[in-house]
Structure 1
Amino acid sequence: MLETERETEPETMPKNTTHFEQQGNSHQSNSLAEEAAGKESSMHERSAQPGRYGEQHLMRFVLSLIAVGGFSFIGIFTETMMNVIFPDLMREFHIDSATVQWVTTAALLPLAAIVPLSVWFNRRFHFKQIFIISGTLFIIGALIAFWSPSFAALLVARVIQGAATGIIMPVMFNMVMEQAPASQIALFIGFGNLVVSLAPATGPVFGGVMASVMPWRDTFLIILLLTVALLVLGLFTIRQSHEVNPQQRFSALQFAMVSLGLVLFMVGLQQSGLALEAQIAGKFELMTTLLGVGSLVVGICLLVAFGFTALRSRLPLINMHLFQHRTITRIALACLFIQMCQLGQSFIVPNFSQIGLGVSMSMAGFVVLPGALLGSLFTIVSGRVYDAIGPKIPMFTGISMATAALVISALLAWHMNATLLCLLYALYEVGYAFVYSNSVTLGLSSLPVNLSSDGNALINTLQQVGCALGTTVFAVTFSIGQYLGTHSHGLTQAQASMWGAQMAYIGMVGAALLYVALAAPQIISAARSRATK
Structure 2
Amino acid sequence: MKENKVYMALFTSALSTFIGVLNETSLNVAYPKLASYFKVSLDTVQWVTTGYLLTVTIMMGATAYLLKQFNARWLSLVSNIAFISGALICSFSVNFKMLLLGRIIQGIATGLATPVMFHIIFTQVPNKLKGLMAGVGGMVISFAPALGPTYGGIVVDQTNSWRFIFNYLIILGIIALILGQIFINTKAFGNDKPFSYGAFVTLGLSVASLVYASSVMAKGSMLTLMAFIILGLVLGALFVKLNNSGQSRLFDLGVFKHKTVALATLTYFCLQFINIGIAVVIPLYMQYVLKTSSTTAGSVLFPGALIGALLSPLAGTIADSVGASKPVITGGIFLLLSSLCFLLLQKQMTVILITVIYIFLRSGFNLAFSNTINNATSQVEIHNIADINSIFNVTQQFAGSLGVSILTGIMAMHQAHGQAGFVQNSYEGGQADFILVAILAGIALVAMITNYSLQKKA
Does the alignment reach a TM-score above 0.5?
yes
Give 2:433's aligned residue.
Answer: 504
Deviation of 1:443 after TM superposition, in Å, equals: 1.0
Distance 1:415 1:89, change over 3 A: closer
Deviation of 1:289 after TM superposition, in Å, equals: 4.4
Deviates further, 443-452 or 223-232: 223-232
CA distance, structure 1, for counterparts of residue 373 and residue 336 of structure 2: 19
Give 1:413's aligned residue.
Answer: 346
Contact 2:29 2:284 in 1 (8 A): no
CA distance, structure 1, for counterparts of residue 149 and residue 284 of structure 2: 15
Picking from 496, 515, 523, the partner of 2:452 is 523
Deviation of 1:68 after TM superposition, in Å, equals: 1.1
Contact 1:67 1:234 in 2 (8 A): yes
Over residues 150-198 of structure 1, what are the superposed CA-to-partner deviations in whole Å (9 max), with x where a residue is unaligned?
5443333222111111122211112111111101112111111211122
CA distance, structure 1, for counterparts of residue 280 and residue 25 of structure 2: 13
Please state if 1:161 is matched with 2:90: no
Deviation of 1:215 after TM superposition, in Å, equals: 5.7
Deviation of 1:331 after TM superposition, in Å, equals: 0.5
Give 2:250's aligned residue.
Answer: 317
Distance 1:506 1:218, change over 3 A: closer
Give 1:47's aligned residue.
Answer: none
Question: Secondary structure in 2 aligned to 1:243?
Answer: coil
CA distance, structure 1, for counterparts of residue 100 and residue 234 of structure 2: 28
CA distance, structure 1, for counterparts of residue 422 and residue 97 of structure 2: 36
Give 2:76's aligned residue.
Answer: 131
Please state if 1:258 is matched with 2:203: yes
Distance 1:458 1:149, change over 3 A: same
Amino acid in structure 2 at the alignment position of 1:236: I
Picking from 231, 239, 248, the partner of 2:177 is 231
CA distance, structure 1, for counterparts of residue 274 and residue 160 of structure 2: 36
Q: CA RMSD in A?
A: 2.9
Please state if 1:205 is matched with 2:205: no
Provide the identity percentage.
27
Please state if 1:121 is matched with 2:66: yes
CA distance, structure 1, for counterparts of residue 356 and residue 262 of structure 2: 33
Please state if 1:401 is matched with 2:339: no
CA distance, structure 1, for counterparts of residue 286 and residue 33 of structure 2: 23
Picking from 110, 118, 122, the partner of 2:55 is 110
Question: Secondary structure in 2 aligned to 1:519?
Answer: helix
> How many equivalent pairs are there?
457
Question: Secondary structure in 1 aligned to 2:61?
Answer: helix
Distance 1:207 1:497, change over 3 A: closer
Please state if 1:71 is matched with 2:8: no
> Structure 1 length normalisation: TM-score?
0.78
Between the two structures, name the one with larger relative contact order (CA 8 Å, sep ≥ 6): 2
Contact 2:267 2:447 in 1 (8 A): yes
Deviation of 1:379 after TM superposition, in Å, equals: 1.5
Q: How does 1:6-17 map to 2 (within 5 A)?
A: none
Deviation of 1:442 after TM superposition, in Å, equals: 1.0
Contact 1:269 1:468 in 2 (8 A): no
CA distance, structure 2, for counterparts of residue 496 and residue 87 of structure 1: 16
Question: Secondary structure in 1 aligned to 2:248?
Answer: coil
Contact 2:329 2:448 in 1 (8 A): no
> Structure 2 length normalisation: TM-score?
0.89
CA distance, structure 1, for counterparts of residue 324 and residue 127 of structure 2: 15
Over residues 258-286 of structure 1, what are the superposed CA-to-partner deviations in whole Å (9 max), with x where a residue is unaligned?
11111111111211x2233xxxxxxxxxx
Contact 2:219 2:413 in 1 (8 A): no
Please state if 1:181 is matched with 2:138: no
CA distance, structure 2, for counterparts of residue 143 and residue 414 of structure 1: 42
| Structure 2 gap segments, 5+ residues each | none
Q: How does 1:66-105 map to 2 (within 5 A)?
A: 66-86=11-31, 89=34, 97=42, 99-105=44-50
Deviates further, 471-480 or 398-407: 471-480
CA distance, structure 2, for counterparts of residue 462 and residue 72 of structure 1: 16
CA distance, structure 2, for counterparts of residue 87 and residue 238 of structure 1: 40
